[in-house]
Amino acid sequence: MASNVVNFDDEFEKYLHRMFHVKQTEETSKCDPSNIEYFGVLNLTDLRSPDRKLWYIYYAKQPEVDETLNRIFHKYGKKNMCEIFRKPTFSGVGLRDRVKRHFQDKKWYVKGNILEAPPKSPYNDDRMLKMITELYNDERKMLYNYICMTHVSFMKYQS
Protein backbone atom coordinates (compact mmCIF):
# COMPACT_ATOMS: atom_id res chain seq x y z
CA MET A 1 0.00 0.00 0.00
CA ALA A 2 2.96 2.31 0.58
CA SER A 3 3.83 2.15 -3.12
CA ASN A 4 0.52 3.89 -3.97
CA VAL A 5 1.33 6.92 -1.81
CA VAL A 6 2.24 9.96 -3.91
CA ASN A 7 4.49 12.65 -2.50
CA PHE A 8 2.77 15.90 -3.44
CA ASP A 9 5.98 17.97 -3.14
CA ASP A 10 7.84 15.79 -5.64
CA GLU A 11 4.93 15.72 -8.09
CA PHE A 12 4.41 19.48 -7.74
CA GLU A 13 8.06 20.19 -8.48
CA LYS A 14 8.08 17.79 -11.43
CA TYR A 15 5.05 19.48 -13.03
CA LEU A 16 6.50 22.94 -12.45
CA HIS A 17 9.68 21.88 -14.26
CA ARG A 18 7.66 20.51 -17.17
CA MET A 19 5.33 23.48 -17.35
CA PHE A 20 8.04 26.12 -17.45
CA HIS A 21 10.50 23.98 -19.43
CA VAL A 22 13.17 24.20 -16.74
CA LYS A 23 15.84 21.53 -16.45
CA GLN A 24 16.32 20.05 -13.01
CA THR A 25 19.62 20.85 -11.35
CA GLU A 26 21.34 19.35 -8.34
CA GLU A 27 22.36 22.68 -6.81
CA THR A 28 20.62 23.92 -3.70
CA SER A 29 17.98 26.61 -3.74
CA LYS A 30 19.03 30.21 -3.23
CA CYS A 31 15.79 31.18 -1.50
CA ASP A 32 15.93 32.86 1.88
CA PRO A 33 14.75 30.35 4.52
CA SER A 34 13.64 33.19 6.80
CA ASN A 35 10.77 33.91 4.38
CA ILE A 36 9.30 30.40 4.71
CA GLU A 37 6.22 30.17 6.93
CA TYR A 38 5.42 27.05 8.92
CA PHE A 39 2.00 25.91 10.07
CA GLY A 40 1.70 23.48 12.94
CA VAL A 41 -0.73 21.71 15.24
CA LEU A 42 -0.11 20.73 18.85
CA ASN A 43 -2.14 18.25 20.88
CA LEU A 44 -3.13 19.90 24.16
CA THR A 45 -4.03 17.87 27.25
CA ASP A 46 -6.14 19.59 29.90
CA LEU A 47 -5.13 18.11 33.27
CA ARG A 48 -8.32 19.33 34.95
CA SER A 49 -10.55 17.42 32.50
CA PRO A 50 -8.61 14.82 30.49
CA ASP A 51 -11.75 13.87 28.50
CA ARG A 52 -11.56 17.12 26.52
CA LYS A 53 -9.97 16.83 23.09
CA LEU A 54 -8.00 20.01 22.40
CA TRP A 55 -5.58 21.08 19.68
CA TYR A 56 -3.61 24.30 19.32
CA ILE A 57 -2.82 25.66 15.84
CA TYR A 58 0.04 28.05 15.17
CA TYR A 59 2.03 29.57 12.33
CA ALA A 60 5.35 31.38 12.24
CA LYS A 61 8.25 32.21 9.94
CA GLN A 62 11.13 29.76 10.14
CA PRO A 63 13.41 31.76 12.49
CA GLU A 64 10.47 32.41 14.85
CA VAL A 65 9.19 28.82 15.14
CA ASP A 66 11.25 27.92 18.22
CA GLU A 67 10.36 31.19 19.95
CA THR A 68 6.66 30.68 19.17
CA LEU A 69 6.71 27.10 20.47
CA ASN A 70 8.54 28.16 23.65
CA ARG A 71 5.90 30.84 24.28
CA ILE A 72 3.09 28.30 23.76
CA PHE A 73 4.83 25.71 25.97
CA HIS A 74 5.31 28.33 28.68
CA LYS A 75 1.61 29.25 28.56
CA TYR A 76 0.15 25.72 28.54
CA GLY A 77 2.99 23.62 29.97
CA LYS A 78 5.40 21.56 27.92
CA LYS A 79 4.26 18.29 29.53
CA ASN A 80 0.70 18.91 28.34
CA MET A 81 1.53 19.35 24.65
CA CYS A 82 3.01 17.39 21.79
CA GLU A 83 3.45 18.45 18.19
CA ILE A 84 1.57 16.36 15.64
CA PHE A 85 1.95 18.47 12.48
CA ARG A 86 4.41 21.03 11.09
CA LYS A 87 4.81 21.86 7.42
CA PRO A 88 6.03 24.79 5.34
CA THR A 89 3.18 26.69 3.73
CA PHE A 90 2.63 29.58 1.36
CA SER A 91 0.53 31.51 3.88
CA GLY A 92 0.25 30.47 7.51
CA VAL A 93 -2.58 32.96 8.04
CA GLY A 94 -4.55 31.57 5.10
CA LEU A 95 -4.15 27.94 6.17
CA ARG A 96 -5.06 28.83 9.77
CA ASP A 97 -8.29 30.49 8.57
CA ARG A 98 -9.11 27.52 6.36
CA VAL A 99 -8.60 25.09 9.27
CA LYS A 100 -10.67 27.23 11.63
CA ARG A 101 -13.54 27.57 9.13
CA HIS A 102 -13.50 23.84 8.43
CA PHE A 103 -13.86 22.92 12.10
CA GLN A 104 -16.39 25.68 12.81
CA ASP A 105 -18.55 24.19 10.05
CA LYS A 106 -18.31 20.84 11.86
CA LYS A 107 -19.72 22.58 14.98
CA TRP A 108 -16.47 22.44 16.92
CA TYR A 109 -15.63 24.97 19.60
CA VAL A 110 -13.06 27.29 17.99
CA LYS A 111 -11.63 30.19 19.94
CA GLY A 112 -8.43 31.93 18.93
CA ASN A 113 -5.95 29.18 18.11
CA ILE A 114 -7.67 26.46 20.15
CA LEU A 115 -9.80 23.78 18.51
CA GLU A 116 -11.98 21.62 20.75
CA ALA A 117 -13.83 18.56 19.51
CA PRO A 118 -17.39 18.04 20.75
CA PRO A 119 -17.83 15.65 23.69
CA LYS A 120 -17.82 11.96 22.75
CA SER A 121 -16.37 12.81 19.36
CA PRO A 122 -14.41 10.05 17.58
CA TYR A 123 -11.56 12.47 16.79
CA ASN A 124 -8.09 11.58 18.02
CA ASP A 125 -4.61 12.66 16.95
CA ASP A 126 -4.57 10.32 13.94
CA ARG A 127 -7.88 11.59 12.55
CA MET A 128 -6.86 15.17 13.28
CA LEU A 129 -3.54 14.65 11.48
CA LYS A 130 -5.36 13.17 8.47
CA MET A 131 -7.83 16.08 8.32
CA ILE A 132 -5.12 18.75 8.68
CA THR A 133 -3.03 17.02 6.00
CA GLU A 134 -6.01 17.03 3.63
CA LEU A 135 -6.58 20.74 4.24
CA TYR A 136 -2.86 21.40 3.74
CA ASN A 137 -2.84 19.47 0.45
CA ASP A 138 -5.98 21.34 -0.70
CA GLU A 139 -4.16 24.60 -0.03
CA ARG A 140 -1.18 23.37 -2.06
CA LYS A 141 -3.44 22.24 -4.93
CA MET A 142 -5.13 25.64 -4.93
CA LEU A 143 -1.71 27.29 -5.31
CA TYR A 144 -0.78 24.83 -8.06
CA ASN A 145 -4.04 25.56 -9.93
CA TYR A 146 -3.40 29.29 -9.64
CA ILE A 147 0.09 28.87 -11.13
CA CYS A 148 -1.34 26.75 -13.96
CA MET A 149 -4.05 29.30 -14.75
CA THR A 150 -1.51 32.10 -14.73
CA HIS A 151 0.78 30.14 -17.03
CA VAL A 152 -2.06 29.38 -19.48
CA SER A 153 -3.16 33.00 -19.58
CA PHE A 154 0.46 34.10 -20.10
CA MET A 155 0.84 31.63 -22.97
CA LYS A 156 -2.37 32.95 -24.59
CA TYR A 157 -1.13 36.50 -24.20
CA GLN A 158 2.25 35.58 -25.66
CA SER A 159 0.76 33.93 -28.75
**Which sequence spans correspond to the domains of the chain?**
32-135
Predicted confidence band of residue 36 (pLDDT cuts 50, 70, 90): confident
- Model pTM? 0.74
38 with 87: CB under 8 angstroms? Answer: yes
- Look over the chain and give the mean of its residue pLDDT values, rounded to a whole number: 84
- At 1 the pLDDT is 46
Secondary structure, 3-state, 70-85: HHHHHHHCHHHEEEEE
